[in-house]
Chains A and B, each alone.
Chain A
Amino acid sequence: MAANPSSEAGVSRRRVLAAGGVSAAGLPLMSLAAERAAPAAPPRAPGAAVPVRLTVNGQAHSLSVDPRASLLDTVRERLGLTGTKKGCDHGQCGACTVHIGGRRALSCLTLAVAVRGPVTTIEGLAGPGGGLHPMQQAFIDQDAFQCGYCTPGQIMSAVACVQEGHAGSDDEIREYMSGNLCRCAAYPHIVKAVVQARGQMGRT
Chain B
Amino acid sequence: MRPFAYERAPDAAAAVRLAGSAPADARSPVQYLAGGTNLVDYMRLDVLRPQIVVDINDLQDAHGEIEARPDGLHLGALARMADVADHPAVLRDYPVIAQSLQLAASAQLRNMASLGGNVLQRTRCQYFRDPSWTACNKRDPGSGCAALHGVNRKHAVLGASEHCIASYPGDFGQALVALDAAVTTVGPRGPRTLRFEDLHRPPGDTPQVETNLMPGELITGFVVPAGPWTRRSLYLKVRDRQSYEFALASAAVALDMDGGAVRQARIALGGVATRPWRAREAEAALAGKPLDHAAAPRRGGRRLRRRGRPRRRRLQDRPRPPNPGPRPDAGAGDGGLRCPTTPACPSPPNRLAP
The residues of A with any CB-CB pair to B shorter than 8 Å are 1-2, 29-30, 32-34, 36-37, 39-48, 50, 66-68, 70, 88-94, 97, 103-106, 109-111, 113-114, 116, 157, 160-161, 164, 166, 174-181
Contact = CB atoms under 8 A, between A and B. Distances in A.
Interface stretch (B105-113, B199-207, B227-235, B312-320): B105-113
Contacts of B17: 36-37, 39
A45 B40 contact: no
Interface of B: 1-10, 14, 17-18, 20-22, 33, 35-37, 40-41, 44-45, 51-53, 55, 57-58, 82, 105-109, 111-112, 242-244, 350, 352-353
Contacts of B21: 36, 39-43
Contacts of A177: 107
A68 B4 contact: yes
Given A34-B10, A45-B5, A174-B243, A179 B107 contact: yes
Given A43-B52, A46-B51, A109-B40, A33 B112 contact: no
Contacts of B51: 43, 46
Q: Is the interface of A mostly helix, strand, loop or mixed?
A: loop
Contacts of B112: 105-106, 109-110
Contact of A68 (B1, B8, B107, B243): B1
A180 to B, nearest CB: 8
Most A C-beta atoms less than 10 A away, residue of B45, B53, B106, B109: B106
Most B C-beta atoms less than 10 A away, residue of A43, A70, A106, A175: A43
A176 B86 CA distance: 13
Nearest to B106: A179
Nearest to A96: B108
B41 A109 contact: yes
A44 B5 contact: yes
Given A34-B10, A36-B18, A1 B353 contact: no
Nearest to A109: B40
A176 B82 CA distance: 11
A68 B22 contact: no
